[in-house]
Amino acid sequence: MSVALVNALLAALVASALIVIQLSISGTRLVFSLPAYALLAVGALMLPALRRTGREPQKWCLAVVAVFFSYILWRAMHSPVEYLAWADLYMVLACLVAYGISALFFQKAGTRMAFMVCVFGLAVLESIFGIRQFAGDGAWMPFGFIRAAQQRASGSFVSPIHFAGFLEAVAPFALAIAIWGTRRTAARWMCIYVAILCYVGVVLSGSRGGWLASLFSLLVLAGLGLMVTFKADRPRFPGAVYAAILMLVLVPAISYPLMIQSAMLKQRIGQLTNVEAPKGTYDIRLANWAAALDQWREAPVLGTGAGTHLYYGRLFRRPELQPDPEHAHGDYLELLAEYGIVGAVGMFALLAAHGLAGLGGFRRLVKARQDDPYGPGLQLAFNIGALTAFSAHAAHAVVDFNMHLPGNAIYLAILFGFLANSGDVEEPARLSEGDEPAPPPWGLPSKLAVWATAGIGAWICVSGLPKFPSEYWCEKARVAIRNRDHAAAITYGQKALETEKRNPFIYLHIGQGYRFAAAKLARPAREPDLLKAKEAFLSGLNLFPQDEELWVRYAQTLEGLGDLRAAGDAYREAVNLDPNLGVIRTHYSGFLRRVGREEEAEEQARQASAASSKDLDPVPLQPHSLELRHQNGAIE
C-alpha cells in the first residue's frame, strides 16, 4: 500500500472520528463518544505496520506528553467514584491516539490539507445550524437532540460556549491558508468565506469567552504574519503593518454596530464589563471558581480525582448558583481541583513545550520561505493556524471548559500534534513520490510513541468499546424516564445491567421507573415496586454515595414505604451534600410538613427561597437533575 494511500486512510479515520463526535453533542456522554473513539483506535492499530514518512516530532514534546498524561491516567484510575472518572479516562486515551497519529504521521502538507478540508466542511455545517437557531428556531437541534429554547447559537453542541470554542479554533486555519497556503483565487476566497462564517458563528453564540479568545487569536495571527513579512519579504513590511492595524480596527468597528441590533448580544456585551450587573445578569463563573478553589483546598497536591467536581461543586456551591455546577467554568481551575498542583504543573509544561515547538517550527519554515516569499507555503499556513488556534483555546480555557468536551479536546490534540511536528518543507511539485528519498528509520522516542499509540488504541478496544451496549441502554432508560415511560425505563435499565454494573445512573433510572410505577397503583399495591426501587437506589448509592439525586429518590421511596425515620435521615444526607441548593431544601420541607414538623418545614422553605432568589445566566445541567431544578440550557 502506497504512503499516500495510507496517509489518506489515516486522515479519513481521524476526520470521521471528529465529525462523528462533534455532531453527537460533541460526545458529552460515553454513548456518543465511544463510536468516535473506536474509529481512532482503528487508526492507532495500523501504526506499527507503517513506515516513517517524514520528520519526527520534537522529542521533548513526546516526553512531556508521556509524563503528564501518565499522571492524568493514574489519577483517573484511582479516583473515588470509578464511573465518574471514565469520561476523563477515555477522553484522554482518545486524545493521545489523535495526538500520536497527528504528530507521527500527519507531516505531509497534502495529508493535513485533506484533513482540514473535512474540518472546514464541519465548521460550515455547524455555523449553518447556529444561524438557524439564532434566526428564530431557538429550540431546534439536529439529529433528534433537544434543548431549551434560547436565541444563543450552539449548533449541534451542548452549549454555545463549546460551539464558539470549536469555531474560534477553525477560523485561524482558514485565514492562514488563504494568506500563506495558496495562490489560487477560488481556493483563497473559499477559505476566507469559511473563516467569516466561523466568526459569525462565534458572534451568534453570545459566548463572551469566545469573543475575547477570537480577538486574542487575531492579534496572534497578525503578529505572526508581520514576523513572516519582516523576515521573508521586508519591502512589503510597512504595508503589512497598515493592513494588520486596519484589520484589527475594522473587525470590532463593523461587528459592534451589527451585534447591538440583537437585544441578547447587546446584553452579553454589557456583561463583559459588569459582572455585578442587576438581577438576571450575574455571572455564574464567580461562584463556579470559588467552589473549585474550595475543592482544591481539600487535596492541593494530587487533587480530589477525575470527575469529582460534579459533587464537590455541589458541596461548595454558593447560594447564587442554582444550576448544577457540572464543570468549574474554567479548564485550568477544574484541572487544579481534580488533579492538584501536580496536574497544573503538568498542564503548564504541556502548553509551554508545544508552544515553543510551534515557534521553533515557525522559525524554520519562515527561513525556508525567504527563498521564495511569493510562493504558497501550506506547512507555514498550518503552523501559523495551529499556533493561532492554540492561543485561542489557551485563552478561552481561563473562563470556560472546552478542554473537558471530548470533541473539542480531540481537535485540540490534533493541533498539538501539528505543533510538535511542523512537517517537511514542501518540495517542488516536479518531484514525484517515487523520486522522494526514503526517510531514515524512526528514532527511539518516536518508535516508543508509535507502539504506545497502538497500545492505547488496543486498550480502548478492549476496555472502552465493551461499555457501549450498557451506555446505549442507560441512555435509552434516561430518555424513557424523561418521557414518563417507566416500564421502558426499567426494561432498558435491566438490559444495561447485563453488561455493566458499575454505572450508578443505571440504578437511578431503574429505581425511578419502579417508584413512578408504584405511584400509579393504589396504596396497598405499591410496596413490591417501592421495595425494588429501594434496592435499586441502594445499589446506586453503594457506587456513588455522594450523589444527592440518589439520596433524594431513596428518601422519597422510604417515605412511601412508611419508614419515616430513615427517610428523614436520607433527606438530611442530601442537604448535607448540597447545602445551598434550594430545590433539595424544598423537597425536605415538604417531607417535614407531611410528618407534622411545621416549624422546621418553614425554616427549610425559607432557606430554599433564599438560595433560589437569584436569576442567573443559564448553564447546561446534569441529565439526572431534580425535577424542580431550573432547566434552561439543558440538553436532553
Q: What percent of the chain has pLDDT over 90?
A: 72
Domain assignment present for 633: no
Mean pLDDT, residues 206-216:
94
The whole-number pLDDT of residue 3 equals: 66
330-344, 426-440, 614-628: which is most confident:
330-344
Contact 172, 217 (CB under 8 A): yes
Does residue 122 lie within any of the structural domains? yes
31-40, 147-156, 540-549, 588-597: range with lowest mean pLDDT:
147-156
Q: With a cut of 90, say whether residue 183 has pLDDT above it.
A: no
Instruction: Write the pLDDT tens digit of every residue in 320-369.
Output: 888 888 899 999 999 999 999 999 999 999 999 999 999 999 999 998 88
pLDDT tens column, 89-103: 999 999 999 999 999
Domain co-membership, 531 together with 516: yes
Q: Are residues 458 and 497 in the same domain?
A: no
Burial class (CB in 10 A: 0-12, 13-18, 19+), 375: exposed
Identify the weakest region by mean pLDDT among 14-23, 82-91, 324-333. 324-333
Q: pLDDT tens for residues 246-273?
A: 887 888 888 888 888 888 898 888 877 6
Q: Does residue 500 share a domain with residue 459?
A: no
The count of structural domains within the chain is 2
Count of Cβ atoms closer than 10 Å to residue 354 Cβ: 27
Residues 398, 490: one domain? no
pLDDT in tens, 555-581: 999 999 999 999 999 999 999 999 999
38 Cβ neighbours under 8 A, 6+ residues apart: 460, 461, 465
Element of type H or E holding 442:
none
Is residue 13 scored above 60 in pLDDT?
A: yes
Burial class (CB in 10 A: 0-12, 13-18, 19+), 344: middle
* 440 located within any domain: no
Q: How many Cα atoms are found within 13 Å in the side-chain-facing hemisphere of 61?
A: 29
Residue 481, domain extent:
466-611
CATH of the domain at 503: 1.25.40.10
pLDDT value at residue 274: 65
- The answer to whether residue 617 sits within a structural domain is no
> Residue holding cell 433528534?
144
Whether residue 409 is found in the same domain as residue 503: no
Residues 55 and 178 in one domain: yes
Cβ–Cβ < 8 Å for 35, 471: no
Q: How confident is the model at residue 243 (pLDDT cuts 50, 70, 90)?
A: confident
What is the predicted pLDDT for the residue at 160? 94
pLDDT for position 612: 65
Strand, helix or coil for residue 376: coil
pLDDT at 267: 85
Residue 307 region by backbone torsions, left for phi larger than 0, else alpha for psi between -120 and 50, else beta: left
The whole-number average pLDDT for the span 134-163 is 89
**Are 560 and 450 found together in one domain?**
no
Highest mean pLDDT among 7-21, 64-78, 315-329, 360-374: 64-78
Q: How far apart are the first and last CA of the chain?
A: 45
Q: How confident is the model at residue 373 (pLDDT cuts 50, 70, 90)?
A: low
Q: What percent of the chain has pLDDT over 70?
A: 91
Q: Considering only 328-342, 396-410, 618-632, which range has the smallest mean pLDDT?
A: 618-632
Interatomic CA distance for residues 354 and 63, integer angstroms: 11
Whether 504 and 567 map to the same domain: the answer is: yes
| b/e sequence 490-505, b meaning 16+ C-beta within 10 Å | bbbbebbbeebeebbb
Q: Look at residue 246 in the predicted model and tell me its pLDDT.
A: 86
- State yes or no: pLDDT of 1 exceeds 70: no
Is 222 part of a structural domain of the chain? yes
Helix intervals (H) in 370-443 = 378-396, 406-420
Residue 586 scores a pLDDT above 70: yes
Residue 254 lies in a domain: yes
Q: Which residue is listed with cell 486524545?
A: 95
What is the spatial distance between Cα 351 and Cα 402, in angstroms, rounded to a whole number? 15
> What pLDDT does 631 receive?
31
d(CA 412, CA 606): 46
Q: What is the pLDDT of residue 432?
A: 44
Residues in the chain: 636
Task: Clarify whether residues 142 and 241 are in a common domain.
Answer: yes
Rounded to 5 degrees, what are φ and ψ at 45? Answer: -70, -20
pLDDT of residue 389: 96
Question: How far apart (Å, rounded) are the C-alpha atoms in residues 334 and 292?
Answer: 6
Please indicate, yes or no, if residue 18 is contained in any of the structural domains. yes
Q: Considering only CA atoms, give the Rg of the chain.
A: 26
Largest CA-CA distance found in the chain, in angstroms, rounded = 91
Instruction: Quote the pLDDT of residue 610.
Output: 84
Burial class (CB in 10 A: 0-12, 13-18, 19+), 373: middle
Specify the pLDDT at position 575: 96
The whole-number average pLDDT for the span 294-318 is 96
Averaged over 219-239, what is the pLDDT?
90
Q: Report the C-alpha gap between 71 and 344 in whole angstroms.
A: 11
614 pLDDT higher than 60:
no
Average confidence score pLDDT of the chain: 89
Specify the pLDDT at position 282. 53
Judge if 112 and 150 occupy the same domain.
yes
Q: Is residue 534 part of a domain?
A: yes
456 and 553, same structural domain?
A: no
- Return the pLDDT at 272: 76
pLDDT surpasses 90 at 523 = no
Residue 233's contacts (CB-CB under 8 Å, 6 or more residues apart) are: 373, 374
Q: How confident is the model at residue 613 (pLDDT cuts 50, 70, 90)?
A: low
- Digit-coded pLDDT (tens) for 451-462: 999 999 999 999
Distance, CA of 556 to CA of 175 (rounded, Å): 57
**Is residue 155 located within the same domain as residue 52?**
yes
617 pLDDT band, cuts 50/70/90, is very low
Cα 79 off chain centre by: 20
Residue 621 is predicted with a pLDDT of 31
